[in-house]
Structure 1
Amino acid sequence: MSTGNLEAALGKPTEPSPGPSGVTFQVINVRIVREGHHKYVLYSIVILKANSGLDEDPIVIDRRYSDFERLNQALRKKSPLLMRGIAFPKKKITGNFKSETIAARSRAFEQFLTHIFSTDSLRVLTEFSDFFYGHTLREAYQKLVNGAYAEAIPLFKTSLGVQRKLQGDFHHHVLTTLCALTACAYSLERFENAHLFSESALECLGGCQGRKYTVPLIELSIRLCWQLGKEKVDLENRLKDLRAKGHVVDGAPSLLEVVVSDFMPSSS
């Protein structure tokens, strides 16, 4: 079946009910992928902020049925009671590539993700976020640990876009990714980019819990302001206040060291 026929089978995307933060999930494209003697259907899901205006930064991810199935099984194992009322399309022995099956699964996947997102206790589970950006983020951190900062940056940026959609601008995961981007850009002496990332990270720091990042982030931000000839008095005063309150400032680990330490325990 051609991609055109698949798109026709899908028809006009439905409008799933937005989650509590105004996020919707829509399957906007499907295609059959052939790998040797095997083939599978790839579903392109767009993550949208549901509001009155146009979402200028939609996020699209590609997933296959097996990816959805792993998420479904993981969540049912973790939270069986909460998942009891959430439907999931069953696996079929035959007919998986029929346009009717693909169209039905597309709608079911939209409802499945939206239902999970609308349930607070499910939305915050690692298994749910891992479905969207886990692999990309792990690859980014591995690149960073190996010193491949230029290769890590686009992976972190991709993860950041999804994190902001799903978790908002002031989530701890958003802060850690912004700090990783700051550290990578600084290590490459891309000081303008590092400064932009650090400003976003400082703003995020004010709205979430990230104490271990506070001193290293402010210190690196001061260094960047010095490199770029920007005003840094407010940041220096902020650091003095932290020292006066008993925070360890002198001899504190670098931002890069803190970012790496966050990743290493989970990488073993």
Structure 2
Amino acid sequence: MQGWSKAGMASKLFDRLRRSIFKEGELSSETDRTDDFPESSELEDDTDCVSARLDGTLCFEGDAVLESEDAGDTSGPDSDSDLFGESLDNACSSTDISPMVPSPKCSDMTTRQLQENWRSSRTRNTPEKLIFEVTDASVVHETNSKYVLYTIRVIHSGMFDKTPAVITRRYTDFERLHSRLRRRHGDEMEAVYFPRKKLRKNFVAETIAKRSRAFEQYLSHLHSLSDLRTTPTFLEFFYLSDLHAGQMLMRVGRCQEALGSFLNALRLQEKLGCNQLLQQNHFQRVHWFFTLSALVSCFQDLEQLSEAQEHCDRALQDLAPSQEALQQHQLHPLLIPLLQSNVRLSWKISKDKRHWEALYHEIQDQGIDIGNQPSLKEWLIKESIEDSEGMVRVKSKSEDAL
């Protein structure tokens, strides 16, 4: 009995001592927080910024501009280091945010929001979430300028993506996208913030790393907004340069290289859901069928006939006209060249071609001249690929060298 009482007293003393130490530590941390741990206040600001971002608002910069005495970072007039300033001190800068556990007072709210988003996504047809990941950022030196080229991988979230797509963009490309979106969709862009340029230190590793993170979050934010992710301006930012590059390579007979550009463009269009917007968006329809037709032509030239026929069949499934359109001779200009290619390809690989042969003969019976049509490759080479603003991109120096 006496042994038990001694053990009980020891346990009570230990428990009292533990509570006392914990209380003193808590008090000391509260009184010394500002002096000993100045980064703690920034940590609180960061968690608030995470909460704000989940509510649909991103913050990439503050009002202050970080200046540097390092004159070695200045560059030519075409570089990415002019005019604008980007704050690296602002605690709410998304470029300063790193993966961390949010403070207890906002963690409940974050969890609740995530649960609501998860439940709502199961009850409505929402597009698959995409991840935009900067995998490389390299400094490019040209004759009169220097800039950073960011390599961004676009993948589906929550699954193993066998066909990731990649784009390379510089700061001015992002800036042009932001300017066009603000001009066309000002109301929707009110809550979207853009990482500003700096006067100096644009090419140091820290700035490049922070800006890479900012661009990831910028694209993710745009894609999260339903009114913006389906706009031609946003979609064309990803795939249109690949179409231009592929067409230039095709024109000089470099089909193997052109094939890579067109395949990447197709993957980007698929991930962004362009094939679901064919009836709503004229430019998505034009670009989608150009991509599929270009793949047919490249695969044919490379003697990959099964792949060519597969993409040809895929295009024709959406291009096949209704009886009313057929009677009124309202046919897509690619329809006849694709039909001719599909019949030949199907014959070569011993695949059933009766369905498309029947449509081909039906077009003939309507009195439509099918003999005076350009070949698929001729049409692709001559076609001008315009963006949604009616602009045809000017050739770059690298394309002139092809």
User: Which residue does 2:188 correspond to in 1?
Assistant: 82
Equivalent runs, 1:107-186 vs 2, <5 Å: 107-119=213-225, 122-169=228-275, 171=278, 172=285, 173-186=287-300
Which stretch has the larger CA shift, 115-124 or 127-136? 115-124
The residue type paired with residue 202 of structure 1 is L
RMSD: 3.8
Number of equivalences: 256
Structure-2 separation of matches of 1:136 and 1:60: 10
Secondary structure, aligned partner of 2:194: coil
User: Which residue does 1:202 correspond to in 2?
Assistant: 316
Structure-2 separation of matches of 1:264 and 1:11: 40
Secondary structure, aligned partner of 1:152: helix
8 Å contact 2:337–2:374 — kept in the other structure?
yes
- Does residue 214 (structure 1) correspond to residue 338 (structure 2)? The answer is no
The residue type paired with residue 300 of structure 2 is Y
Relative to structure 1, the CA distance from residue 163 to residue 136 in structure 2 (aligned partners, 3 Å threshold; closer, same or farther) is same
Structure-1 separation of matches of 2:270 and 2:210: 29
8 Å contact 1:10–1:106 — kept in the other structure?
no
Query: What's the CA shift string for 1:218-244, capped at 9, x where partnerless?
Result: 121001122233322122112233444
The residue type paired with residue 351 of structure 2 is K
Secondary structure, aligned partner of 1:211: coil
User: Which residue does 1:93 correspond to in 2?
Assistant: 199
- Cα offset, 1:139, TM superposition: 1.7
The residue type paired with residue 162 of structure 2 is E
8 Å contact 1:27–1:43 — kept in the other structure?
no
Relative to the length of structure 2, the TM-score reads 0.53
Equivalent runs, 1:241-256 vs 2, <5 Å: 241-244=362-365, 247-256=368-377
User: Which residue does 1:49 correspond to in 2?
Assistant: 156
Instruction: Kindly name which structure, 1 or 2, has the bigger radius of gyration based on alpha carbons.
Output: 2
User: Which residue does 1:232 correspond to in 2?
Assistant: 353
- Cα offset, 1:105, TM superposition: 3.2
Relative to the length of structure 1, the TM-score reads 0.75
Structure 1 vs Structure 2: percent identity of aligned residues?
A: 32
8 Å contact 2:135–2:153 — kept in the other structure?
no
Structure-1 separation of matches of 2:289 and 2:187: 32
Which stretch has the larger CA shift, 73-82 or 239-248? 239-248
Relative to structure 1, the CA distance from residue 98 to residue 60 in structure 2 (aligned partners, 3 Å threshold; closer, same or farther) is same
User: Which residue does 1:5 correspond to in 2?
Assistant: none
The residue type paired with residue 290 of structure 2 is T
Query: What's the CA shift string for 1:190-211, capped at 9, x where partnerless?
Result: 433422332333345469x982
8 Å contact 2:132–2:219 — kept in the other structure?
no
User: Which residue does 2:35 correspond to in 1?
Assistant: none
Unpaired stretches in structure 2, ≥5 consecutive residues: 1-95, 101-113, 279-284, 322-329, 387-391, 395-402
Unpaired stretches in structure 1, ≥5 consecutive residues: 1-8
Structure-2 separation of matches of 1:267 and 1:222: 34
Structure-2 separation of matches of 1:150 and 1:224: 19
In structure 2, which of residues 380, 383, 397 is the aligned counterpart of residue 259 of structure 1?
380
The residue type paired with residue 181 of structure 1 is L
The residue type paired with residue 200 of structure 1 is R
Could you say which structure has the higher strand fraction? 1
Which stretch has the larger CA shift, 219-228 or 24-33? 24-33
